[in-house]
Amino acid sequence: MTKRVTVSTSDRSAFVDITDHAVRLIAESGVREGSCLIYSPHTTCGVTINENADPDVKVDLLTGLDSIAPWENRYRHAEGNSAAHIKAGLMGFSTEIPVADGRLLLGTWQSIYLCEFDGPRRRTVVLQVREF
Protein backbone atom coordinates (compact mmCIF):
# COMPACT_ATOMS: atom_id res chain seq x y z
CA MET A 1 0.00 0.00 0.00
CA THR A 2 1.40 3.38 -1.03
CA LYS A 3 0.26 6.82 0.08
CA ARG A 4 1.46 10.33 -0.69
CA VAL A 5 1.05 12.99 1.97
CA THR A 6 1.67 16.72 1.83
CA VAL A 7 3.67 18.35 4.60
CA SER A 8 3.91 22.13 4.92
CA THR A 9 7.08 23.58 6.38
CA SER A 10 7.31 27.05 7.86
CA ASP A 11 11.07 27.69 8.04
CA ARG A 12 14.04 27.47 5.73
CA SER A 13 15.40 24.59 7.83
CA ALA A 14 13.28 22.39 10.07
CA PHE A 15 12.68 18.84 11.24
CA VAL A 16 8.96 18.01 10.99
CA ASP A 17 7.71 14.92 12.83
CA ILE A 18 5.84 12.73 10.32
CA THR A 19 5.63 9.57 12.43
CA ASP A 20 1.84 9.76 12.73
CA HIS A 21 1.47 9.50 8.94
CA ALA A 22 3.31 6.16 8.96
CA VAL A 23 1.36 4.90 11.98
CA ARG A 24 -1.96 5.71 10.26
CA LEU A 25 -0.91 4.05 6.99
CA ILE A 26 0.07 0.85 8.80
CA ALA A 27 -3.29 0.79 10.58
CA GLU A 28 -5.15 1.40 7.29
CA SER A 29 -3.17 -1.28 5.47
CA GLY A 30 -3.75 -4.00 8.03
CA VAL A 31 -0.13 -5.14 7.65
CA ARG A 32 1.01 -7.07 10.72
CA GLU A 33 4.55 -8.06 9.67
CA GLY A 34 6.57 -6.14 7.12
CA SER A 35 8.22 -2.77 6.68
CA CYS A 36 7.37 0.86 6.12
CA LEU A 37 9.34 2.89 3.61
CA ILE A 38 9.33 6.69 3.88
CA TYR A 39 10.71 8.57 0.87
CA SER A 40 11.20 12.24 -0.05
CA PRO A 41 11.13 12.88 -3.82
CA HIS A 42 12.86 16.26 -3.37
CA THR A 43 16.54 17.17 -3.75
CA THR A 44 16.58 19.71 -0.91
CA CYS A 45 14.51 17.80 1.63
CA GLY A 46 15.46 14.56 3.36
CA VAL A 47 14.10 11.98 5.79
CA THR A 48 15.66 10.71 9.01
CA ILE A 49 14.95 9.03 12.33
CA ASN A 50 16.10 10.71 15.51
CA GLU A 51 15.22 11.58 19.10
CA ASN A 52 11.76 12.97 19.82
CA ALA A 53 12.01 13.71 23.56
CA ASP A 54 14.33 16.73 23.71
CA PRO A 55 13.59 19.47 21.14
CA ASP A 56 17.17 20.70 21.50
CA VAL A 57 18.33 17.64 19.56
CA LYS A 58 16.66 19.02 16.42
CA VAL A 59 18.24 22.43 17.06
CA ASP A 60 21.65 20.81 17.52
CA LEU A 61 21.27 18.77 14.33
CA LEU A 62 20.40 21.89 12.34
CA THR A 63 23.32 23.78 13.91
CA GLY A 64 25.71 20.95 13.08
CA LEU A 65 24.49 20.74 9.50
CA ASP A 66 24.85 24.52 9.14
CA SER A 67 28.49 24.21 10.20
CA ILE A 68 29.08 21.49 7.59
CA ALA A 69 27.19 23.26 4.78
CA PRO A 70 26.74 26.97 5.55
CA TRP A 71 24.42 29.00 3.34
CA GLU A 72 27.18 31.44 2.48
CA ASN A 73 30.01 29.75 0.65
CA ARG A 74 31.58 29.75 -2.79
CA TYR A 75 28.95 27.42 -4.29
CA ARG A 76 28.43 27.46 -8.06
CA HIS A 77 24.82 26.24 -8.28
CA ALA A 78 22.81 29.11 -9.81
CA GLU A 79 19.70 28.66 -7.66
CA GLY A 80 21.62 29.60 -4.52
CA ASN A 81 20.46 26.58 -2.50
CA SER A 82 23.54 24.35 -2.64
CA ALA A 83 23.65 24.17 1.16
CA ALA A 84 20.16 22.61 1.07
CA HIS A 85 21.26 20.03 -1.49
CA ILE A 86 24.29 19.08 0.62
CA LYS A 87 22.27 18.79 3.85
CA ALA A 88 19.54 16.70 2.22
CA GLY A 89 22.18 14.42 0.73
CA LEU A 90 23.79 13.97 4.14
CA MET A 91 20.46 13.10 5.78
CA GLY A 92 19.33 10.82 2.96
CA PHE A 93 16.06 10.70 1.07
CA SER A 94 14.48 7.62 2.58
CA THR A 95 14.32 5.33 5.57
CA GLU A 96 12.75 1.94 6.15
CA ILE A 97 11.41 0.72 9.48
CA PRO A 98 10.36 -2.81 10.40
CA VAL A 99 6.70 -3.43 11.24
CA ALA A 100 5.86 -6.16 13.77
CA ASP A 101 2.47 -6.93 15.27
CA GLY A 102 1.08 -4.02 13.23
CA ARG A 103 3.41 -1.47 14.83
CA LEU A 104 6.53 0.43 13.78
CA LEU A 105 9.60 -0.89 15.56
CA LEU A 106 10.93 2.53 16.50
CA GLY A 107 12.98 2.96 19.64
CA THR A 108 11.48 4.58 22.73
CA TRP A 109 12.78 8.06 21.90
CA GLN A 110 12.64 7.85 18.09
CA SER A 111 10.43 9.66 15.57
CA ILE A 112 10.50 9.96 11.79
CA TYR A 113 11.36 13.43 10.51
CA LEU A 114 11.00 15.23 7.23
CA CYS A 115 14.16 17.34 7.01
CA GLU A 116 13.44 20.66 5.31
CA PHE A 117 16.44 22.61 4.08
CA ASP A 118 14.96 24.95 1.44
CA GLY A 119 11.67 26.11 2.91
CA PRO A 120 9.17 27.15 3.63
CA ARG A 121 7.46 24.85 1.14
CA ARG A 122 4.77 22.24 0.64
CA ARG A 123 6.49 18.87 0.39
CA THR A 124 5.30 15.47 -0.73
CA VAL A 125 6.31 12.41 1.25
CA VAL A 126 5.76 8.92 -0.13
CA LEU A 127 4.96 6.19 2.39
CA GLN A 128 4.77 2.53 1.47
CA VAL A 129 3.91 -0.41 3.67
CA ARG A 130 5.03 -3.86 2.55
CA GLU A 131 3.86 -7.12 3.99
CA PHE A 132 6.23 -10.07 4.48
Mean pLDDT within 48-53: 97
With vertex at residue 47, the alpha carbon angle to CA 94 and CA 88, rounded to the nearest 5 degrees, is 100
Answer yes or no: are the C-beta atoms of 104 and 49 closer than 8 Å: no
The model's pLDDT over 15-24, given as tens digits with 9 standing for 90+, comes to: 999 999 999 9
Share of the chain above pLDDT 90, in %: 99
pLDDT, position 100: 98
pLDDT, position 98: 98
pLDDT-derived band at 65 (thresholds 50, 70, 90) equals very high
The model's pLDDT over 89-109, given as tens digits with 9 standing for 90+, comes to: 999 999 999 999 999 999 999
Is 2-131 CATH 2.60.120.460?
yes
